[in-house]
Amino acid sequence: MIAQDYREIKFMEAFRFFGTSRANAFIGQMAELPIHMHDGVELMYVLKGTLHVKISFNQHKMKAGDFLLVNAYEVHSLQAEEKAEILFLQMGESFLAEKEFAFDPHFYETYNQEAVKEVKGKMVRMYLSQEAGKPAGEAEGLAKEIASICDSFFQIHQYDVIHKAHMDFSPNQAAGARMQNVYQLLYDHYDKRLRLSDVAHMEHMDMSYISRLLKDGMGVGFQDTLNIIRTDRAEVFLLGTDLLVQQVGEKVGFSSHAYFVKHFKAHFGMAPAAYRQKYRNDIYPKRKMELQLINYSSTELMDLIRDLESGRQKQSEEQYMEELRYEADYLIRLCSALICSDGARLETDCLLLHKRDGNVEILLKDRNIRIQIIQDKEQYTSQ
């Protein structure tokens, strides 16, 4: 399926750029952005408020400080609990053409945090550059730098869609690149009758190797990956066209209507016809985009960002220590079960458990934190 096939979708909101620039950063205060999609990649950095984001069959809650990337032609909607302020960066297809990226805020909150922090900083700089009326080349250069970071750290092959976990191909970048190529091929040809042997032939790879790549990168095998893509794309044509439900299933490549209904219900929680009935009036432009552009001075925005990120860092550390306390009792019992005598020790790449003088010492290597667990009449404390 090529991009041109999406141009006539009812809820398409094409990006509008100024002059020759193909990227634009702006801050908007929003209450609701109904179901829509764009012809380019959209990055969002929440500055104030809390909002609920629906992307295909995934629902996410975002708060101030969170970051999200929405793929081109990805069906999504936003609903703020009250008013939310978001720094948006919209980039035309030329920046990140034919690439698919992770679409879960949890991914960006949990993994590659330094890369996310760098992207946020460059988004802020780009917004301020535009507001100050500086030459368009400066903002364009920042957009290219942001695109490069996204390309390096946020691609879909680094995200296990099923188990919502980070996939690390860093020890073998070639495998990661091959995984991305296979996924992109499935995404580009999902509407065709596609077999594992066809993909193996087109990519000059062994079938078992492709299956293993997809299992490692997506959390599921070839056919399940293909069905996830087909189900995701079915939403576009259910809500954005007047095709019959059975025609939608055929258009996205399902071999039978029953097979289409089965997989759609598995991901969206209801049959395709019921889904169309529920959401057909919640699409743009049937519902208005409740978004108001607002302006920040450089000082105001930098003060807001500073307070936001410092509070976020404090919250992150407090959450880490709370999780640490929560895990302590489990760790103690684990130590008691596995380490019977003084002097015994268990060691992994990031954790060292050591029993000495009747007490258990835990060293968290990644944080350089040492915890001593003291057992006294089955009462446990951590110091």
Task: List pLDDT tens digits, range 12-58.
Answer: 999 988 878 899 999 999 999 999 999 999 999 999 999 999 999 99
Nearest of 52, 38, 51, 59 to residue 268 by alpha carbon = 59
Asked if pLDDT for residue 365 goes beyond 60, the answer is no
Q: Which amino acid is at 98?
A: E
Burial of 94 (0-12, 13-18, 19+ CB in 10 A): exposed
Asked if pLDDT for residue 123 goes beyond 60, the answer is yes
**Quick one: pLDDT band at residue 377, thresholds 50, 70, 90?**
very low
The pLDDT value given to residue 20: 83
The pLDDT value given to residue 157: 63
Asked if pLDDT for residue 319 goes beyond 90, the answer is no
CA 161/CA 242 separation, integer angstroms: 30
Burial of 321 (0-12, 13-18, 19+ CB in 10 A): exposed
Condensed to tens digits (0 to 9), the pLDDT of residues 158-207 reads: 655 544 555 554 445 677 778 888 888 999 899 999 999 999 999 999 99
Distances (CA, A) of 345 to 66, 342, 348, 350, 380: 40, 9, 10, 14, 19
CB 76 within 8 A of CB 53: yes
CA 12/CA 280 separation, integer angstroms: 14
CATH numbers and ranges of domains, the chain? 3-168+284-294 (2.60.120.10), 299-382 (no CATH)
Tell me the two tokens of residue 56: 């295909």
The pLDDT value given to residue 315: 55
Q: Which residue has the higher pLDDT, 21 or 322?
A: 21
Burial of 203 (0-12, 13-18, 19+ CB in 10 A): middle
Distant-in-sequence, close-in-space partners of 120: CB < 8 Å, separation ≥ 6: 45, 67, 305
The pLDDT value given to residue 10: 93
CA 289/CA 286 separation, integer angstroms: 10
Condensed to tens digits (0 to 9), the pLDDT of residues 132-163 reads: 999 989 999 999 999 999 988 888 766 555 44
The pLDDT value given to residue 350: 57
User: What is the number of other CB atoms lying within 10 angstroms of the CB of residue 190?
Assistant: 22
For residues 199-217, average pLDDT: 89
**Average predicted confidence (pLDDT) for the chain:** 83
CA 85/CA 162 separation, integer angstroms: 30
Asked if pLDDT for residue 264 goes beyond 90, the answer is yes
Asked if pLDDT for residue 279 goes beyond 70, the answer is yes
The radius of gyration of the chain's CA atoms, rounded to the nearest angstrom, is: 24
Asked if pLDDT for residue 383 goes beyond 50, the answer is no
Ramachandran area for residue 221 (φ above 0: left; ψ -120 to 50: alpha; else beta)? beta
Please give the DSSP secondary-structure letter assigned to residue 156: G
- ∠256-257-260 over CA atoms, to 5°? 90
pTM (two decimals): 0.78
Asked if pLDDT for residue 313 goes beyond 70, the answer is no
Asked if pLDDT for residue 82 goes beyond 50, the answer is yes
The pLDDT value given to residue 92: 92
DSSP 301-341: HHHHHHHHHHHHHHHHHHHHHHHHHHHHHHHHHHHHHH--S
